[in-house]
Amino acid sequence: MQEDDLAGGDLTRMAVLALLGRDGPASRAAIARELDLSPATVSQVTRRLIEQGVVEPLYFAPSEGGRPGQLLGLVGDAGRAIGVKLAADHIVTVEVRLDGQVLSTRTEAFDALSPDAVEKLAQSVETSGDPGETKLLGVGVCVPGVVAHPDGGEVTAEVLGWVSMPIGRYLRRRTGVPVIVENDVKALAVAERLFGGGRNRRNFVVVTVGRGVGFASVANGVVHRGAAGGAGEVAHVVLSANGPLCACGQRGCLESYIGAAGLVAAGRAAGALGPGQGLESLEALAQQGEPRAREVFAHAGQRLAQAMAGPIAALNPEVVLIAGEGTRSWQHWDAGFRSSLARRLPAWMRNIAVEVDDWDESSWARGAAALVLATPFDRHAVAGHQRAQVLARLHGRGSTNGDTEW
């Protein structure tokens, strides 16, 4: 089979995989209705996918008056991906199955400014699994920075001290598998689309709070990247030229006010925190009902809504998904955010849904893995020229050479 065919020429198989990946198990009749296909076509396509070990028959659905239909679902262990979240001082690595189940999680120290930082990253990836396994579809890496082309993987990230760092090319050479690199919030949006709150929604935004502030948008099922991969970089829009100094070097960025360092500074200015106390202390005080600590978070929620109202109004999403490490204290942000957002949106948008994501240390890295795992389900996935290699590995082939039908 030719490479362009392998990369998605058989749209019917891709559509069936995408449907089962997004919506979960379905009967052949339901697949035919949803995709507007003939029952004969669905039977032929699903039989081939079952033979390939990618789809499996499950249980029979309760009858609604006719013959009960057998549900089909993805084989979760038919493929897996390694996901890596890079931060300035640590790496989180996960192994994730095709169905989104996290198999393992590891956190280790990392120094992004070290001369051998990329070598350390490669070693971490190599010890996370056997890259030679065909079930390993690829490696996803997410970074707190801008990536112009995820399939190329060149990173510019001020917080890491990296400018045009070619980590994608280096990791591909070391591991021999597809490597996709993306901004961390955009990667998280891919995971939300595939496994989370955006699974059954085609238009949503993701807002992250934690060490920094992040924003990503999904329109008609596609993550918006912008002209050079920088769409959604609202954290460093200057709100006040005389504001606090931000890690990016500017003054008065949104992140300088409501990122982790900004919240600690506000807590000290309010008299809620003493010397040596940090964000965890501020969160604990707010949880105990300390009014000054609670006011810091409430004001942060208001400022966040003020910055996000414009993008949200312009995009008109179905839901705003809140994620990031800061969600552990979101209850103290929530009222200020919702009330301030409602005042700033057009009247007909003021009841927009705001949902808080379940969060743990592996969530960012799971988003990185989703960059790879989304490839079989989404023709708009960011795998680019590596798409054919990912699909070849899913269907039991280590490369795209040859003419074996997938």
Question: pLDDT digits over 199-256, tens only?
Answer: 888 899 999 999 899 999 999 889 999 998 999 989 988 988 899 998 888 999 999 9
Strand order across the 55-60 sheet: 26-27, 70-74, 55-60
State which fold the 3-74 domain adopts. Answer: Arc Repressor Mutant, subunit A (1.10.10)
Alpha-helical (H) ranges within 199-238 are none
Q: Six-digit token pair at 222?
A: 């596609």
**Confidence band, pLDDT 50/70/90 cuts, at residue 9:** very low
Distance CA 326, CA 291 (A): 19
**Confidence band, pLDDT 50/70/90 cuts, at residue 404:** very low
Q: For the CA atoms of the chain, what is the radius of gyration? A: 22
Higher pLDDT, 194 or 336: 336
**Confidence band, pLDDT 50/70/90 cuts, at residue 112:** very high
Q: Which helix (H) or strand (E) holds 255?
A: helix 254-258
Q: What's residue 130's pLDDT? A: 62
pTM value? 0.86
Buried/exposed code over 156-175 (b: 16+ C-beta within 10 A; e: otherwise): bbebbebeebbbbebbbebb
Higher pLDDT, 400 or 227: 227
Segments of the chain assigned to CATH 1.10.10.10: 3-74
Q: What's residue 77's pLDDT? A: 85
Beta-bridged to residue 58, according to DSSP, are none
Per the CB < 8 A criterion, the answer to whether 122 and 176 are in contact is no
Residue listed under structure tokens 């949503």: 204
DSSP, residue by residue, 55-91:
EEEEEEPPPSSSPPPEEEEE-GGG-EEEEEEE-SSEE
306: nearest Cα among 331, 347, 279, 336: 336
Q: How are beta strands 204-209 and 213-219 bridged, if at all?
A: antiparallel
CATH no. for 199-356: 3.30.420.40
197: nearest Cα among 378, 359, 19: 359
157: nearest Cα among 92, 208, 105, 85: 85
Higher pLDDT, 200 or 191: 191
* Phi/psi at 197 (5° precision): -65, -15
Distance CA 403, CA 401 (A): 7
**Domain 79-189+363-394 part of CATH 3.30.420.40:** yes
Per the CB < 8 A criterion, the answer to whether 161 and 202 are in contact is no
Segments of the chain assigned to CATH 3.30.420.40: 79-189+363-394, 199-356
Q: Six-digit token pair at 213?
A: 């502030």
Per-residue pLDDT tens digits for 288-324: 999 999 999 999 999 999 999 999 999 999 999 999 9
Per-residue pLDDT tens digits for 155-181: 999 889 999 999 999 999 999 999 999
Per-residue pLDDT tens digits for 83-100: 999 999 999 999 999 888
